[in-house]
Chain A
Amino acid sequence: GQNIDQPTEMTATEGAIVQINCTYQTSGFNGLFWYQQHAGEAPTFLSYNVLDGLEEKGRFSSFLSRSKGYSYLLLKELQMKDSASYLCAVRLGDSSYKLIFGSGTRLLVRP
């Protein structure tokens, strides 16, 4: 079976840095995605990693270690609007149409 694990909830302070971890055990791997989903809204794409290492995009960075089946999303200079759920998703295999999602991490940013 496919397994993607994320913490259920996290709390952080405005202006701080938070790291959201994702571990996966899947039958194949062809990339890992991070999505942000505000309550009542559609998930929106944040980042994509297919090779090991760090991808930086503004205040958000994402890291991947394929040998460890591990990724994290790093959010810097937290803002209140960053309060949302963050979804980790793995695409299975070269020709797979399946993008498998974790349960998501609900992040609460406090003043």
Chain B
Amino acid sequence: ETGVTQTPRHLVMGMTNKKSLKCEQHLGHNAMYWYKQSAKKPLELMFVYSLEERVENNSVPSRFSPECPNSSHLFLHLHTLQPEDSALYLCASSQAANTGELFFGEGSRLTVL
């Protein structure tokens, strides 16, 4: 079983749809992250959760809504997205929120029509 698992791997949605991305980590880590990866741009930090508490919200539009029900699961709820939100969304986890390396999932490729 891989360390960090993301579903779905691919998602196509219209601008009026509501969908969710799911992330699960099997590493016993206490911190989880959402990053956005667009073509030819750096990985952009979106949200950080430490022990299920959101500790970082990097000026992300409200159409992206994270949820962390426990330290192993992280969701990104999507609503009324724009075509420029099309990107690869990467989930990651680390031992703690301010130390150690990040372990990434394979990502969810999102296309907004």
* A and B pair up: yes
Binding site for B on A (CB under 8 A): 4, 30, 33, 41-45, 48, 87, 89, 91, 94-104
* Contact residues of B between 15 and 58, Cβ < 8 Å to A: 31, 40-43, 45, 48, 50, 55-56, 58
Q: Are B101 and A48 in contact (CB under 8 A)?
A: yes
Q: Are A43 and B98 in contact (CB under 8 A)?
A: no
Residues of A within 8 A of B75 (CB): none
Q: Are B101 and A45 in contact (CB under 8 A)?
A: yes
Q: Within the complex, which residue of B31, B42, B98 is in contact with A103, where a contact is CB–CB below 8 Å?
A: B42
What's the minimum C-beta distance from A35 to chain B, rounded to whole angstroms? 8
Most chain B CB atoms below 10 A, which of A41, A99, A102: A99
B97 touches A97 (CB 8 A): yes
Please state if A103 and B41 are interface contacts (CB–CB under 8 Å).
yes
* Residues of chain B contacted by A44 (CB below 8 angstroms): 104
- Contacts A43-B104, A45-B103; A101 near B98 (Cβ below 8 A): no
Task: Give how many B residues have a beta carbon under 8 Å from the other chain's beta carbons.
Answer: 22
| Chain B: minimal CB distance from A86 (Å) | 13
- Whole-angstrom CA separation of A4 from B97 in the bound complex: 21
A-facing residues in B46-86 (Cβ within 8 Å): 48, 50, 55-56, 58
Say how far A38's CB is from chain B's closest CB, in angstroms: 11
Instruction: Determine the chain A residues whose CB is within 8 A of the CB of B4 once the complex forms.
Output: 42
Compute how far the CA of A102 lies from the CA of B106 in the bound complex, rounded to whole angstroms. Answer: 19
A44 to B107, CA, bound (A): 12
Q: In the complex, which residues of chain A have a beta carbon less than 8 angstroms from the beta carbon of B101?
A: 33, 45, 48
How many angstroms from the CA of A30 to the CA of B104 in the assembled complex?
A: 20
Q: Is the CB of B43 within 8 A of A87?
A: yes
A43 x B90 contact (CB < 8 A) = yes
User: A100 CA to B33 CA in the complex, in Å?
Assistant: 13
